[in-house]
A and B are shown apart, each in its own frame.
Chain A
Amino acid sequence: MTTDAMASPVSKSRKGLMSRALSGTVLPVIVVVLGIIAIWYVAAISMNSTFQRSLDARAEATPSTVEFVVSTLNQERPVLPSPHQVAENLWDTVFNKKITSKRSLVYHAGVTLAPTLLGFLMGTGLGILLATIIVHVLSMEKSLMPWIITSQTIPILAIAPMVILVLDAVGIRGLLPKALISMYLSFFPVTVGMVKGLRSPDKMHLDLLRTYNSSTWQTFWKLRWPSSLPYLFTSMKVAIAISLIGAIVGELPTGAVAGLGARLLSGSYYGQTVLIWSALLMAAFCAAMLVALVGLAENWMRRRMGEKAEAGS
């Protein structure tokens, strides 16, 4: 804060490269990420050392400290795989396998992403619809809103596997059940955000439209909808992230057939920790990409609506 305030009269060009890097977010983020990786390595060494020691004792080997550390980081089934092992596995399963092959992580990510996106679209649609109804019908707001909030305190994610199996018994299988879980999770932030957004226009503006004798419909399209868009995109970022989580958990009961969730499950069945971590990182990458996509759409929308694109975030 204070450095910004003091540096502001100085022109940008006179600021050193170092101080510019310090005031931005890129360098701090890099430092934090490097710190996390360092902690990860230390944790990997300490958590794997017990097993390594017993291995060495059995082999009657007396490795030097360096050798010992290197071997803890390269076990076949480590308690905590080291970052480079995970990176290697990621590289191997992403780039060295055919996309259609069952060993390709891209294939599994695709299997998970399809229901994520479908569920996200359905959830966003449902959220907008509910919010529109709630804003316009008083009795709906009073009776439905408390239940919408309560619906989220129910750990639905915990029963997602069961919902999938029940739907399977009814004959609904494939993409739709997982998408339904994603929808259930993602409609909530959109509903809450949109109720706020559709109510966000000024009283003055609403009154102005009333003096124009505009219909409810016109007020909706010309005032409420445009002013709710920033709220919509903010809640869509939350919604797409949890809809990915919903799809992953939805894959757990299908008996580890395909998808990132299935990879997690099969990894945990067979003790393939490297597999679990690479699936986790892939999921993290997907989540980041999806949120970034919504962010891009938001920037595009802002520019189209004549607002200056927000820097960063």
Chain B
Amino acid sequence: MSETTVAPKTPTLPEEWREPLIWLAILCTLIALFVPLAFLAGDDGVAKPLRTPAGLCVILIAGAVASVRFKGWFGDILLFLSAHVTAGILLFMLPAYTGAAGWGFWLLLAGSWLLAWQVVTRLSDRRLNGYKQTLLDLAIPILFGLWLLLLWEMIVVGAGVPYVLLPPPSQIGARIAESLPLLWADFQQTFLLGVLPGYIIGCGAGFIVAVLVDKVPFLQRGLLPVGNMASALPIIGVAPIMVMWFGFGPSSKIAVVVIMIFFPMLVNTVAGFAAAGNMEKDLMRTYAASYGQTLSKLRLPNAMPFIFNALKINSTLALIGAIVAEFFGSPTVGMGFRISTEFGRLNTDLVWATIAVAALAGSTFYGLIALVERRITFWHPSARG
């Protein structure tokens, strides 16, 4: 056997064909040329098909072909520009085609979306150094999010979905800008008066009980299973009871939040205290460290990843608890109140505006805690990446 063994050749595609998204986009664009862009009512009231402008198709196809021709940043920029110029023009023309968009419109939208997706794919494969990679990692999800909004706008307006069912993002944005004082008052009532105090009290109580329980192993063994079960319970069901007990004001919301987040905090902190290894504990004992010293120097830092896990889970739970509690009774201000009453009055854009504020508040809250976590548990494997 003098032959050298050759690895079995897997059939490889030629270079240009490895990016099927681009070719799919070109196919979409070519079909779009021959189908109407939209159906516009003429003077006689009869809907007339409108030809798809060839210029738009040319921009898309030129960008796609050029990006295959030029690799590297130049090709990516061309791809990016052609996808987004087309999408931008479509967005600009959109108001004229409300509820009248035809296949040409959808195909062009699909084409530019496919190209944008290809840009994301290419960007994901890039390796940069230092802060540039951080920026890129930030830009990719932002681009994805913007496209979600764009598709939402185009589909809702283009297909003529009734605004009562689902308003387009542009209308929600306008509504936010227009009713800022109202939204701010709701935010104050729900977040600053309900969520934050409840969060602090609930997490504090969970932590303190965990420290106390930690001294009594018997209680710890008993509380852990019970606490674990309680974390799985639909505790949100106590909301009507709390509203009955504490009235419509913020105190009932605080109570719901405290009850909801107490057990996750307790369970995680207890588990965190148990996370310190026996070796380290023995080491502290050989140093003749007191209980307090062991707690503050070894076990508390070790428990931090667990505690932050609970803090992060609780940030979302607290917001949910306060809003749902408002469904059962609240003064005439607050996010939960706004959502339920404005929906009853079919002001869906205001409902969505409130949801957007809630989402922003929730994400910011979560993000802040995650940032603090990074600073404090920088030594943990999960933070080092």
Contacts and interface: CB of A to CB of B under 8 A. Distances in A.
Contacts of A179: none
B234 A276 contact: no
Nearest to A285: B233
A143 B236 contact: no
B225 interface: yes
B359 A153 contact: yes
A279 B233 CA distance: 12
A291 B164 CA distance: 39
Contacts of B236: 157, 245, 248-249
Contacts of B244: 79, 268, 271, 273
B324 A249 contact: yes
Report whether over half of chain B's contact residues are helix, strand or loop; otherwise say mixed: helix
B339 A245 contact: no
Contacts of A276: 237, 240-241
Interface in A222-268: 237-238, 241, 244-245, 248-249, 252, 260-261, 264-265, 267-268
A33 B225 CA distance: 11
Given A29-B222, A157-B236, A288-B232, A147 B320 contact: no
Interface in A17-48: 22, 24-25, 27-33, 36, 47
A50 to B, nearest CB: 12
B124 A79 contact: no
A229 B57 CA distance: 48
B165 interface: yes
Give the interface centre of A158, A241, A252, A260 by most chain B CB atoms within 10 Å.
Answer: A158
Contacts of A268: 240-241, 243-244, 328
Given A139-B124, A144-B144, A79 B245 contact: yes
Interface string B227-247: 001011110111011011100
A265 B166 CA distance: 27
A305 interface: no
B140 A153 contact: no
A152 B229 CA distance: 22
- Shortest Cβ-Cβ A-B pairs, 10 listed: A28-B222, A268-B240, A158-B323, A241-B232, A143-B144, A32-B222, A139-B124, A153-B362, A139-B121, A146-B141
21 contacts: A1-B278, A22-B218, A32-B219, A143-B144, A144-B141, A150-B363, A153-B363, A153-B365, A153-B366, A154-B359, A155-B359, A166-B166, A249-B236, A260-B237, A268-B243, A268-B328, A276-B241, A280-B238, A288-B232, A288-B233, A291-B232
